[in-house]
Amino acid sequence: MNWTERAEKAVNYLAETDRKIAELKVLYEKSRRQNKRIWAAIFLRVDGSVEARKAEAEVHEEYQSAQAAEMTALLAYEQLKNERETACVVVDFWRSFNKASQEGHV
């Protein structure tokens, strides 16, 4: 595959994943906020000193599950974000290479 084909594929990928990256970002943010609400709810339900309640909230199964969901959402978002950044690098390289070729530098 030549650089023009790679750049075209990268541009198409960026166009196709615009909505998907936004959706993944929203899922991550929702998960993060849900995680905070779960922690707060556990903190309010348990008895003891502030430090004991914090510790109980941190190790609670429901909070741990919410944390795992948050990390899964973050991973999906970051993975697509990185793939899109790679596609942008391909497009930027193609632009530079194409311009240099037109000016006779390559």
Check residue 104 and give its pLDDT.
83
Is residue 1 in a domain?
Answer: no
Is residue 91 in some structural domain? yes
Locate 104 and state its tokens: 């006779």
Give the number of domains in the chain: 1
Domain interval for residue 48: 19-101
Residue 14 lies in a domain: no
For residue 12, is it within any domain? Answer: no
Of the two residues 2 and 64, the one the predictor is more confident about is 64
Q: pLDDT tens-digit profile of 60-82?
A: 999 999 999 999 999 999 999 99
- Within a domain: 13: no
Q: How confident is the model at residue 103 (pLDDT cuts 50, 70, 90)?
A: confident
Q: Is residue 8 in a domain?
A: no
**58 in a domain, yes or no?**
yes
- Specify if 39 maps to a domain: yes
- The reported pLDDT for the residue numbered 105 is 78
What is the DSSP annotation of the chain?
--HHHHHHHHHHHHHHTHHHHHHHHHHHHHHHHHHHHHHHHHHHHS-S-HHHHHHHHHH-HHHHHHHHHHHHHHHHHHHHHHHHHHHHHHHHHHHHHHHHHHTT--
Instruction: Name residue 97's amino acid.
Output: F
Is 20's pLDDT higher than 90?
yes
Whether 8 and 95 have beta carbons less than 8 Å apart is answered as no
